Structure formats: C-alpha cells, structure tokens
Amino acid sequence: MAVSEAHPQKIALHLKSRELELVYPDGSYRLGAELLRVLSPSAEVRGHGVGNGVLQTGKRHVGLVAVEPSGRYALKLTFDDGHDSGLYNWHYLRDLCLNRERYWQDYLARLEAAGASRDPDGAGAD
C-alpha cells in the first residue's frame, strides 16, 4: 500500500465521543481513544523488544485532547492521562481502521488472561 493510499483524506477529533475519525476513499472510520491508547506504538506500551510490551489497564475513560501532524507520515496523539509519546504513522492508523475489531477482541482477551480491568480502579465489568 502506497503512503497516499494509507493517508486519510480527512481527520477529525470528536472530543465528546472520544473518537478519532479518519476518512478514506472507501469510507469513514472512527477509532476510540481507549483503543488508540492501549495500542499506542510507543515504547512505553510496546516495550523495547519482542515480548516486552506492557498491557495497558484502566483506560476505559481515557480521552484524546490533541492531534498533531508529525511530518508528512504520522500523527502525534495526546491523551488526557498524559500519554503523548507514540507516533501513529499512516500505515498503522489504516491497519487499526481495517482491523480494529480483531485488535480490540485480542486486547480484551489479554486483559482477561491477566485478571486485569479496563476500569481505572481495577473493578467493574468489562
């Protein structure tokens, strides 16, 4: 996929619904702040090597507060929990759009396996 195919035609931050909207020729996609936060491409989340990722917990209510371009290849997202170190390149964002349900289900399964929760206090139904 060429960069131009992965680059969205329009980007909109929806603060109230806590979603990032990306519009491509084949349609509009909305990615929730929680999904974007727990799948951040940052070293803090992915780790510094294979298998060193850190499962993100307690992010159910996280929101996006800013979206900035990073050169011509990525977006820098700032979350209301202070996280702002991941650069979401066009290919990664497009992949999240096309595979969000699979990634979300995988995340929920990893949470369950770890006995962890999406809730900040660690309690409540997921």
DSSP state of 108: H
The pLDDT assigned to 49 comes to 65
As beta bridge partners, residue 78 has: 66
Tokens at 124, concatenated: 């409540």
Any domain includes 38: yes
Nearest to 1 by CA among 63, 119, 93: 93
The pLDDT assigned to 6 comes to 80
| 117 has a pLDDT exceeding 50 | yes
Any domain includes 75: yes
Any domain includes 123: no
Any domain includes 63: yes
Which domain CATH number covers 39?
Answer: 3.30.2020.30
> In this predicted model, what pLDDT tens digit does every residue of 6-59 receive, in sequence order?
899 999 999 999 999 999 999 999 999 999 999 999 988 887 666 678 999 999
Any domain includes 124: no
Any domain includes 43: yes
For 105, the domain range is: 3-114
Q: pTM for this structure?
A: 0.89
Task: Indicate the number of domains in the chain.
Answer: 1
